[in-house]
Chain A
Amino acid sequence: MIYNFSDYINEMKRANKLVVQPRMGFGTLDKMKQGLLAVANCNAPTIGTLTLDSYTRVNDFISPKIALDSHQEINGFPIVTHGAIATRELLDGIVADKFAVQVRHGTALPVEIIKVLLAAGINATEGGPISYCLPYSRLPIENAISAWATCCELLASSREKGIINHLESFAGCMLGQLCPPSLLLALGILEGIFFKRHGLVSVSLSYAQGPSAEQDLSALAALHVLANEYLSDIDWHIVVYTYMGVFPKTIAGASEIIKTSAQIAKIGNAQRLIVKTPAEAFRIPTIEENVKSLELAYSASKNLENNNNLAIDLEEQEIIYHQARFLVESVLDLHCSLNKGLQIAFKKGYLDVPYCLHQNNKNLTRSVIDSRGYLQWAETGNLPFSQDYLNDFSKRKIPITSDGFLFMLGFVQHKYDNVKSE
């Protein structure tokens, strides 16, 4: 029997423990079960993950069957292809104390997936109308907004049966890297408000580790303030992601960045951490590699005394908070319906994700990594900031070349790989 996700998080919060969770999905029922069992029994407080494959992500439920029938590997668990009954049987077969799971997918139109996961007895998933449309889909935002509104209502409807379903906004991971923190926060808060308005009472806000731990801690502090302002009437927590961009290639560098992400999460008062593995740079990790990483991360979250150098930059926290709050308010002011407001915001470029190729994203903004390793705006496009909200760095406009871009993409990888080889 699968435990309730938000109950587990809140119990661990009271116990002052950081919950760790892998990104893990396998094509076959057997392998998926092995993976979940290993996570359930690992030496850390964990949530199990069913990451869906990239065919299911685009609502192609036939290709996974063809691939599995011909023993081709696929990159995740095809929940719709396997169906609710088989998935429920798989989960019922996992004998573990208080084991909650979350379905992770990346789908702009997830109605079918949500129906199947609810029928399978799963009570937590993630995504959002912006965060699962802009990076992953070619569909207009409008379609994703209406599909996600339906999904929220489906998830919320279980309350009649006394079940609280949890939904995480993936917005804090927008494109995985190079999105300035203030925009990550604003998008997360807006999706949180969207979930709340469509009936959810338990949500989480994500934040992906960036190039600078100081900037991350500043952003997490700002996110707490914003979540208290906008979501105080529902259950919420913050989930940190180990760096989602180009990953360190050495074992030492990868271990170091995983440990740092755990410490950022713990010091930044997040309740949950999505952990990567050192294999990440090369291939889909094995079950054992996932378990090892979860244990490494949890143990790092308990050993904070060596890391007095991790501190909040108050000036940066102020900038991030004010930029994010200004974006949120600008969007809420556009229309009484947030569904409409979000669409108008992207059309006007009030929300604009740097380097995002989606047709509804203006793609006029640019970001850059400064000498401190902070992510900064290099070009703010039509973002409605007044100059007061920008620091001197961002007031300059910096052209981006392919070499410069490659440097930024690999900045974090090199930072962690080089530290360890010195």
Chain B
Amino acid sequence: MKQRTVLSTLPSDSHSWNLVYLQLLLEELGHEVINVGTCVPIDVLIKKCHESRPNNLVISSVNGHGHLDGMKMILAMKKYPMLKGIRVVIGGKLGTQGCDSKDYAEKLLRAGFDAVFSEKEIPEFISLMNEDTKNNNQKIAL
């Protein structure tokens, strides 16, 4: 089944090349991509997830605030049980100090992300995106 993926960045992040690239990549993997664009407020993102019931939510952030804003986002998302089945992943440059995003991975995973990728882990990202999700939302929708 074709996977539907919402692709987005976080409220304070204005970078878009990562999103343009990931959209092309995910489309080539056969995903239907909803690209929400730059500087996305968390409530807009949550609304988009309710509307489009995606299999995946892919967050890409490279401005260094990703570990802070990503944490806010995942905690906000937890308040909506209908979004529970979505596979939520985050990646990019998540801190300002040039550390590998893995440094933040543990906290973000504990908070509820299904995977955290550094900017070098595109192959790992691709193989996860090739795996089907067991999406409860889709079942409800059927």
CB pair B20 A405 closer than 8 Å: yes
CB pair A72 B68 closer than 8 Å: yes
What residues of chain A lie closer than 8 Å to B25, measured between beta carbons? 402
Rounded to whole Å, the gap between the CB of A403 and the closest CB of chain B is 9
CB pair B96 A357 closer than 8 Å: no
Q: Please measure, in the bound complex, the distance between the C-alpha atom of A75 and the C-alpha atom of B21, giving whole angstroms.
A: 24
Q: Which of B32-40, B46-54, B106-114 lines the interface with chain A?
A: B32-40
What residues of chain A lie closer than 8 Å to B98, measured between beta carbons? 282-283
Rounded to whole Å, the gap between the CB of A361 and the closest CB of chain B is 10
Q: Does B138 contact A (CB under 8 A)?
A: no
CB pair B28 A355 closer than 8 Å: no
Q: Please measure, in the bound complex, the distance between the C-alpha atom of A166 and the C-alpha atom of B64, giving whole angstroms.
A: 30
CB pair A406 B38 closer than 8 Å: no
Rounded to whole Å, the gap between the CB of B123 and the closest CB of chain A is 13
CB pair B21 A54 closer than 8 Å: no
Q: Does B97 contact A (CB under 8 A)?
A: yes
Identify which of B21, B38, B63 contacts A138 (C-beta below 8 A): B38
Q: Does A137 contact B (CB under 8 A)?
A: yes
| Dominant SS among interface residues on chain B | loop
Q: Does B135 contact A (CB under 8 A)?
A: no
CB pair A54 B12 closer than 8 Å: yes
Contact (A284, B14) CB under 8 Å given A138-B40, A406-B21: no
CB pair A283 B16 closer than 8 Å: no
Q: Which of A2-10, A55-63, A301-309 lines the interface with chain B?
A: A55-63
What residues of chain A lie closer than 8 Å to B96, measured between beta carbons? 73-75, 283-284
Rounded to whole Å, the gap between the CB of B88 and the closest CB of chain A is 21
Identify which of B16, B24, B40 contacts A401 (C-beta below 8 A): B24
CB pair B64 A135 closer than 8 Å: no
A387-406 interface mask toward B, CB cutoff 8 Å, 1 = contact, 0 = none? 00000000000001110011
Identify which of B14, B19, B64, B68 contacts A106 (C-beta below 8 A): B14
Q: Does B70 contact A (CB under 8 A)?
A: no
A sample of 12 cross-chain residue pairs with beta-carbon separation below 8 angstroms, ordered by A number, consists of A54-B14, A73-B96, A73-B97, A135-B14, A137-B39, A177-B17, A283-B98, A284-B64, A356-B16, A357-B20, A401-B28, A405-B21
A residues whose Cβ falls under 8 Å from a Cβ of B? 54-55, 57-58, 60, 63, 67, 72-75, 106, 135-138, 175-177, 245-246, 282-284, 355-359, 400-402, 405-406, 409
- Given A402-B21, A409-B21, 14 new contacts (CB under 8 A): A54-B63, A55-B65, A67-B68, A73-B97, A75-B65, A137-B14, A137-B38, A175-B16, A177-B17, A356-B16, A357-B20, A357-B37, A358-B37, A402-B28
- 7 nearest interchain CB pairs? A283-B98, A402-B24, A136-B14, A357-B37, A402-B25, A54-B12, A282-B98
